[in-house]
Every structure is written in structure tokens, then in C-alpha cells.
Amino acid sequence: MATASKVLLTLRQWPEYCRAGILQESANTVSELLQKNHDTHHIFFNSSGFHNHLSHHLLTIWALRAEPGEIQKAYNVNAGYQRMLGPLDETILTEMHNPEKFSSCLGNEKYYHDFLVFFQEEMAKSSWQEVVNNFLFAGDERADDMLARLFAGFLHPIIHLGFGIEFHQPAIIAEAMAQSAVHDNYMRKFLVPAEEAAKKKGGEESRTIVDLLDAIHADMELRDAPKWSDGNKLRDGIIGRAGDRMIEYASQFDVKADELERKTAEMTNAAAYYTAGAQRADRKIRYDFYYMHCVNCSIFFSAFLKQDWLSEANKIRLLEWKVRNDLAMYASRKSPDIRINDIRDYKPKKPSGWDEIEDRVCRLEDDGHASKLVRALAHGQKICEPYEDREEFRIKHDDWLQMGHMAIDSVEEPSANWVRSAGFDEAWESVPARA
């Protein structure tokens, strides 16, 4: 049985999107390797806060029916540069039960191991569901602070939490809670005021996500807010220089209880639309590295909808925060043109269906970003299909497979697999010209 300290995948609990024919041997290999990662590695592989993606990568390719040898290779490629977990400080761990001490340790990566064991112990006293509710969704000062941290680091903590929930692994959930705790909370300066502004609008009808994307694209003041020299273009450019303006746009989106499933699909569709469409006419197809995380995160919102321990109000809150994050993320890369014809006119290098694309990405020497993107796109096609006749769903059925081909073809090229900050000319300098 999987616990807060033990990783154990079985063939009885399937993730949100997976292929038929997964082997128990593959499940055993993933469980063994992720247990090793859990026991020995830090959540950041360096002191700059770059994330350990081993669990994301291995769980994703397992769901895509990778063989044991492919799973082992994926681990070997990425395990060598990980940091060791470091010693546990028993004194700090004990003191964390004091709310003031807990608060004083937030945002500091040196306390990751202490937070990890803290959350494991909390889960042992009750359940992982109760811990997640108490520390993320209680609506008090501590929970709101932790929830904002969940959306930091370009969505890595919530992606990690999503993997834990979707794949039924409390140990991964404990890692996600500890990861959230050691991130900073700059997103709170945007997400909480946007939420408050949305509430003040009362009964105003929500705008669609793509309508807001169009408005943000046309707003030259917002487009000029992020600078190429910014260390973090979301924090420094959008929240730092244009926070009030971004809040005004973000607060025009909200979700009602009877819309949760449709607006989860709308969020997924819009994220794929601007991520795949952010191209340059004179350059080869590339996905923006930062936008890609918004797509990769989308799959977990389908899993969140199925959690009966999570209240309807908190499902709504999570989705609203995700959409507002995505709008700000789009603006943070200088609101590039969204070229949907580049998706529809794309000529795949190896025309095929999803199975062949998924086989290729399982073999790819990658850190997990590409496989997560392919799986999220395949899942997006499934959940958006019932709503494709709606105007706000600009990505239609055949577009999803096209985007899958764009993803695998671009990351199989020998260099410049991603473009970083697609609205800036500087970002495209290393991308080869189109033929």
C-alpha cells in the first residue's frame, strides 16, 4: 500500500490519461526508482531552485506505457545531477508545530527535508486528504499563504501535487507540500487581489479566456511591462510593474459550480492555444518553455474534479487561480501573436497517431517536460471534444494531434528544443530559420 513515505504503483489505480497494456514490471520499476528519489534527493537539484523532475518524468512515461528499460534510462539520465536530501534537523522538525516557527521557515529551501518529514508525520496522524485541506484550503492566513506558494515556481508545486493525487501516491503529495513550503509567495500579491476584485464585480458575466487573451495582446502598456533583462518576467515585469492592470483583466474571469467541467476544458484549450500558437513566421516551430508548464499542469484539474474530499468551492478557487495565473503568464512573455494557422498548416516529420508520438517521447533523452506536454495534449483532446462547437474553444479536434507532432518533432531536433519567452525577439535568436 502506498503511504506518505512509500511509493507503490499498482495496476488497480489508473491515472487520468494512460495507454492500455501497461506492465506490472514497469510499475515495479517506477516504484523502486521513485522510492530512491524520495529517500535520497532534494526537491531542487541546485541552489538556484531548479526543480527535480524525476517523479514527473517517470510517472508520465509509465502512463504512456514505457518499458522498464526506458524507465530506468530516464532515471539514469537525470539522477546524476540531483542534490542529496541532506540531514534532518530534529529540533527544527519539533519546533515546526509552533505556527510562528512554521511561518519563519517558509520560503527557505534548506528546510525542505524538515518540511517533508513534518507533512509525513501530519499525514500519519490523520490522512493526506485532511492535511491538504488543512494546509492549503482552510481559508485562513496560513492556508492562503501556502496556496499562493503552490502556484509559485512556474506551477511546479501544483504540478507535483497533481502527480501525487492523480497517481494515488501520498509520498509524492508530501513532497509537493514540502516543495510549496520552500517556495516564495510572490504570486499572492497577484492572486489574492485578483480574487478580491472578482468578488467585488458581483454578478457580472465572466469573459472567456480567449477574449481576455485577445485584450491582453492588444494592451501595449501591458505588453511593454516585462523586460528581457528581468530575472523573473512574471514577478518583476507583470506583477511588479503592471500588477493593477493585470489584476483588472484577471478579475474578469470566474467560475460557477455548474460550469466546473466545461471551464476546466476551456482552461486546457486556451493554454494549449496560446502555447502552441506562440510561433514566429521565419523560425522553426518551438514551444515556449514557460507557457508549456501551463499546458502540463492542465491535466491535473481533471483529477481534482474527481476528489470527493475537496469541496466544490475549493475546486472553483483552484481553477480560477489557475486561469488567472495563465493569463499573467501569457502577458509575462510579452503577449506574442497567437498563430493558429501555424498549428493547422504544420507538416509532421513522421505522420502518425498518438501511439507513435507517445512511443517516441518515451524514448527521448529528456527531463520529463516533453513527455508531460505530449500526455497533456492527448488528454486535452479528450476533455475538449464535447465543447468544440463553442466559440471560446479555438483549438478543435484535429489541432490536438498536430500540436503533438509539433511537440515531438521540435524536441527531437539537436539544439534549441524550447524557446524561452516567445514574445521577445532575443528568445528566437538561437532557433533555426524555417526552410
- CA nearest neighbour of 336 among 241, 427, 424: 424
- CA nearest neighbour of 24 among 13, 35, 34: 13
Q: Examine residue 198 and state whether it is found in any structural domain, yes or no.
A: yes
**CA distance linking residue 57 with residue 177, whole number of Å:** 19
Q: Examine residue 130 and state whether it is found in any structural domain, yes or no.
A: yes
By percentage, how much of the chain surpasses pLDDT 70? 100
Same domain, 377 and 405: yes
Q: Residue 89: which domain range? A: 1-183
Same domain, 231 and 269: yes
Least confident of 137-151, 198-212, 235-249: 198-212
Q: Mind listing the pLDDT tens digit for each residue in 293-326? A: 999 999 999 999 999 999 999 999 999 999 999 9
Same domain, 246 and 331: yes
Question: Which residue's C-alpha cell is 479528450?
Answer: 382
Overall number of domains in the chain: 2
Same domain, 92 and 196: no
Same domain, 278 and 420: yes
pLDDT surpassing 90 at residue 291: yes
Same domain, 255 and 361: yes
**CA distance linking residue 317 with residue 304, whole number of Å:** 12
Please list the alpha-helical segments (H only) found in 238-364: 240-250, 260-277, 289-305, 312-332, 340-344, 354-363
Last residue of a domain, one of 158, 183, 208: 183
Q: Examine residue 433 and state whether it is found in any structural domain, yes or no.
A: no
- CA nearest neighbour of 62 among 150, 152, 172: 172
Q: Examine residue 408 and state whether it is found in any structural domain, yes or no.
A: yes
Q: Examine residue 248 and state whether it is found in any structural domain, yes or no.
A: yes
Q: Examine residue 76 and state whether it is found in any structural domain, yes or no.
A: yes
pLDDT given for residue 49 in this prediction: 83
pLDDT surpassing 90 at residue 376: yes
Same domain, 79 and 218: no
Angle between helix axes 170-182 and 24-40 (nearest 10 degrees) is: 30
Same domain, 31 and 153: yes
Measured between its terminal Cα atoms, the distance across the chain in Å is: 54
pLDDT given for residue 365 in this prediction: 95
Q: Examine residue 357 and state whether it is found in any structural domain, yes or no.
A: yes
Last residue of a domain, one of 183, 211, 233: 183
Q: State the DSSP string of 344-368.
A: HT---SS---HHHHHHHHHHS-SSS
Q: Examine residue 434 and state whether it is found in any structural domain, yes or no.
A: no
Instruction: Give the pTM.
Output: 0.98
Same domain, 156 and 101: yes
Last residue of a domain, one of 154, 183, 212: 183
Same domain, 166 and 231: no
Same domain, 151 and 199: no
Q: State the DSSP string of 376-407.
A: HHHHHHHHHGGGTTSTT--S-HHHHHHHHHHH
Same domain, 334 and 257: yes
